[in-house]
Structure 1
C-alpha cells in the first residue's frame, strides 16, 4: 500500500496558500465593498432625509428641481444654515464647504445683508417695476472693479448673462457659430461636459474644442469662417476647477481679434478670485464679460457687459436694438444686497496636495475654489481628457460619504468653495479628515 509522506515544506506551503487565500478574499478592501458599506451607514444615519426625498418624489421628478444636488441613494435634506454651518433634518451639523457652488460667498446669516434686506423692504420696496437709483450705484461699483466693462446690463442669472452676450456677438458680427470648450459650463442650457449638452440651445451652431489646446483652437478658427464668438472660463468651474493656461487664454484673445469674433469671458464663478476677476489677475482683455452667482448676495443675479460699442446693441434708444426683458432684472433687493479669502484657499489646496501626493487624489483650482479629483493615473497637471478617461467614480463617492459622516458638506463631484466665515482652524480640521481618508484607504488610492 502506498504511503503519503508529508514534509514540513508541504505543510508550510499549504499554510501560506490558505493565508493568502484568506487575505485575498477577506482582508484586502475593494472600492465597491467600501462604498457599499458607506452607503449602508449613510442610509441608517439619515432616515429624515430619506423620508423627505420620498415625499418630494411624489411632487417632482426624482424629488428634484436642481439636478446637481441629487445623489444616490437619496440626497441630504437641509433644514437651516447659520454663518458657515448647516443642519439637516436629522440634526447633523456640517461645515459648509460647498458655498452654494461658489454663489454663497457670504454665508447663511451675514449681518450686513440682513440689515440691507430689512432696509430695502422698509424704505425702498422690493421690486418697483421702474428705474431706480440702486441700478446706477451697482453699475458704478462693477465698472470700477472691472475697467473693461464700459457698459453693462443686469439680468437674473449667469445663464441669462451668457445668452445675452452671445446674442450681442451674433448681431454685431452677423455670424452664427460659437467656439466653446469641452468641460465648460456656461449655464443650464449651455453645458459642454462631454461635448454639446443634450438640452443646449442652438446645438447646430457650437464648435467644441479642447481646453488649453492652442493648436486645435488655431485649426478650428482656420477651418471655420462663420465664428461669431469664443466663450470660455479662465478656470473651468463645473469642469473640475481646471485653470486656463495663460498662453491659451491669450491665444483666444489674439485669435478672436484676428478673425473678427467676440471674446466672451465667463466670470460668473471666477470673478470672486481676484478684485478685478481673473481677467485682472491674468491681464486679459475680453470684449464681453459675464457675471453672476455670489454678486447677488444670495439672490438671483446676472450681468453682462463690456465694450460700449457692443452694448449699444441693447440700447432701447436705437431703432434696431435687441429686446431685453426680465421682471426681476433690476430688483431693488438684489441691487442693494450686492457687496480676500483666496489666500486661505490657496493654503488649503497646497496642504491637500501635500498630504495626497503619490496617490490617485489630485486637487485643482484657483484661490478659494477647488475640486478634489480621483484619477487612476494621478497625473498633474490635469486636463479635461484626464477627467473623462481616468476618473474613479467609486473613490469620488466614497470620499463624499467619508466627508458627510464627519460633518463636512462638500459637493459630490468634489467641488470645495470656501465661505467668508471659513477659518484657518476649519481648514486644518478638513485637512486632518482628508489625511484620515488617505490613511484608511491607502491601498485603494495607490496609482
Structure 2
C-alpha cells in the first residue's frame, strides 16, 4: 500500500471516529446552519467536517456537548491567556457590574489602563481604545495615512491584521474581504526583496504594517535584522512603521519591541488586554496620536460605544496589574520555549517530518517535506507524500490530539495559558510526539 493511500485511509478513519464521538455537536451544528452561514460567526473556529460545540469551561479545561473533556492548548487563539475561570478577574468583573454597565462617560479606570499600557510599550506615548485588534489596525493605518498625507500601505505575505486585513499574497481556499487600502505586498523576512518592491513607490508609502512574528501566517518570527531594517527604511522614506503586537504583546511586558529594542512609530494591541472582554488599542508618538485630541480645531473624530466599556476597563486594568506581570509572562514563555525545543530535538534526531515554529508561549506545528535520505527511499513514494498539503496532515494531528483529550486549532496553532502547569505540558508534549510517531509510521514501509 502506498504512503498516500495509507494516509488517506488513516484520515478517513479519524474523521469517521470524529463523527461517531461528536453526535450532539453535529446535531447542533446542523441546526445552527439555519440561522448562521456555516453554522457560526467566526471563521477561524470552523472545523472540517464540522466544529465541536463547547458547553462550558473551567480553569484549563473545556467540555463539549458530548461530555468530552479537553485540556486547552489553544487558549482562544492566544487571547485566553488567563484560562477559563480566573478568580482575580471574576472578582473585578463582579465589582464592575455593581458600579453599573454602560456609564456613558469617562472613568478613572480608562486613563489608568492607558497609563499602564503607555508605561509598558516603548513606542506608545498616547493611546486610544477600540473593540478588537482588527479595528485597532484599521484605525492605526488610517491615522498613519492621514498624518503622512500618503496613500500606500506596505504589508507582508502571510500577514494577518484582522478579519478584513488578511491573506496578503497567499494561496488559500476561498475568497476574503479586505479594507480597500492601496496595499503593496512585500516578502516577509526579506529586506532586500522588500526594498526592491518599495523603491519605485517610496514617496507614496505612508504606512509599513508588520507583525514582529507572523501569527496566523505560521508563527514565523521576524528576524531582528529584518525588523530593524524596516525601522531604518521607514525613517528614510518618511513613512509610519506600525508593529502589530496583538499576539506578540504576550512575549514580554512590552511585547517583542521591548525584547529587541526596536521602537516603531505606532503599536496595535488587542485580545488579552481586555481581561476576557472584546478589546483593541492603538497608540504611538504624540505628534501622530494628537490628531485625535478633541481640544484641537480640526481634530480627527474617533467614536465607539464600547471603546471605554467599564467592564473591559476594570478587567483589563486588573489583569495588567495583578496577572500580566513580568515574572508570570517570563515563566509562561519559558515553558513554551522549552516545549518547542524538546519537540524539535526529538523530530530532528528521529527523522520525523514535523517541526514547531514560534516564540515563547505561541507555537505552530508544520510538516517538513521528506527527502531522499528518508527511511522511505522510494522517490515516487516520497513525491506522493510531499504532494499532500500541510493542512491535510495537520488535520490528522488535530483529530488524534482530540482523541487524547487535547485542544489545539485545526491549523496547528498552540498557545499556552496561565492555568497550565509543567505536568500538563509534559503530557501534551508526549501526546503530540505519539501522534507524530503514529503518522510517521505511515511514511515508513
User: Do they superpose with TM above 0.5?
Assistant: yes
How many Å apart are 1:322 and its aligned residue?
A: 1.4
Pick from 276, 291, 312: which aligns with 1:298?
276
Asked if 1:216 corresponds to 2:207, the answer is no
- Residues in 1 aligned to 2:239 and 2:5: alpha-carbon distance in whole angstroms: 54
Residue 198 of structure 1 and its aligned partner are, at CA, apart by 3.3
Aligned to 1:172: 147
Q: Which residue of 1 aligns with 2:414?
A: 416
Question: SS in structure 2 opposite 1:138?
Answer: helix
Q: Structure 2: which 5+ residue stretches go unaligned?
A: 320-328, 372-385
Q: 1:353 aligns with which of 344, 347, 366?
A: 344
Aligned to 1:392: 390
Q: For residues 389 and 336 of structure 1, do their structure 2 counterparts lie closer, same or farther at Cα, with a shift above 3 Å needed?
A: farther
1: CA distance between counterparts of 2:438 and 2:144? 52
* CA deviation after TM superposition for structure 1 residue 29, in Å: 5.9
Q: 2:184 aligns with which of 207, 215, 225?
A: 207
Name the CA shift for 1:218/1:163 in 2 (closer, same or farther; >3 Å).
same
Distance in 2 between the 1:389 and 1:209 partners?
27
User: Could you say which residue in structure 1 is the equivalent of 2:355?
Assistant: 362
Is the counterpart of residue 113 in structure 1 residue 64 in structure 2?
A: no
1:268 aligns with 2:246: yes
Match of 1:46 among 22, 26, 30: 22
Greater Rg over alpha carbons, structure: 1
Pair 1:147 & 2:122 matched: yes
Gaps of 5+ in 1: 1-23, 379-387
Which residue matches 2:383?
none
1:229-272 alpha-carbon deviations (Å, 9 max, x no partner): 10000011110111001100001000000000000000111101
- Within 1, Cα distance between the matches of 2:106 and 2:78? 30
Which residues of 2 match residues 177-192 of structure 1 at below 5 A? 177-192=152-167
Matched, 1:36 2:12: yes
Q: Is the 8 A contact 1:127 1:330 kept in 2?
A: no
Instruction: Indicate whether 1:375 and 2:353 are aligned.
Output: no
1:162 corresponds to 2:137: yes
Q: Aligned equivalents of 1:303 and 1:113: distance in 2?
A: 20
Q: The residue matched to 2:176 in structure 1 has which SS? A: coil
2:233 aligns to what? 255
Offset of residue 101 of structure 1: 0.4
Match of 1:90 in 2: 66
Distance across 2 between alignment mates of 1:30 and 1:59: 39
What is the aligned counterpart of 1:281 among 254, 259, 264? 259
* CA distance in 2 between partners of 1:192 and 1:265 (Å): 18
Once the two structures are overlaid, the 10-residue window that deviates more, 314-323 or 234-243, is: 314-323
**Secondary structure of 2:184's aligned partner:** strand
1:418-437 per-position Cα deviation (integer Å, ceiling 9, x unaligned): 01011110111011112211
Matched, 1:103 2:79: yes
The aligned counterpart of 1:436 is 434
8 Å contact kept, 2:110–2:313: yes
TM-score (norm 1): 0.89
- Decide whether aligned partners of structure 1 residues 390 and 364 sit closer, same or farther in structure 2, where only a CA change above 3 A counts: farther
218 and 353 in structure 1: CA distance in 2 versus 1, 3 angstrom threshold: same
1:243 and 1:297 map into 2 onto residues whose CA distance is 26
Q: Which residue of 1 aligns with 2:302?
A: 324
Task: Tell me the distance in 2 between the aligned counterparts of 1:445 and 1:275.
Answer: 43
Distance 1:233 1:304, change over 3 A: same
| Range moving further from structure 2, 250-259 or 309-318 | 309-318
Structure 1's 193 and 95: CA in aligned 2 closer, same or farther, altered over 3 A? farther
- Counterpart residue number, 1:67: 43
Aligned twin of 2:204: 226
Given that residues 245 and 267 in structure 2 are in contact (C-alpha distance below 8 angstroms), is that contact kept between their aligned partners in structure 1?
Answer: yes
Partner of 1:136: 111
TM-score (norm. length: structure 2): 0.89
5 Å matches for 1:6-25?
24=1
Task: Measure, in 2, the Cα distance between the counterparts of 1:440 and 1:198.
Answer: 35
| Equivalent residues, number | 411
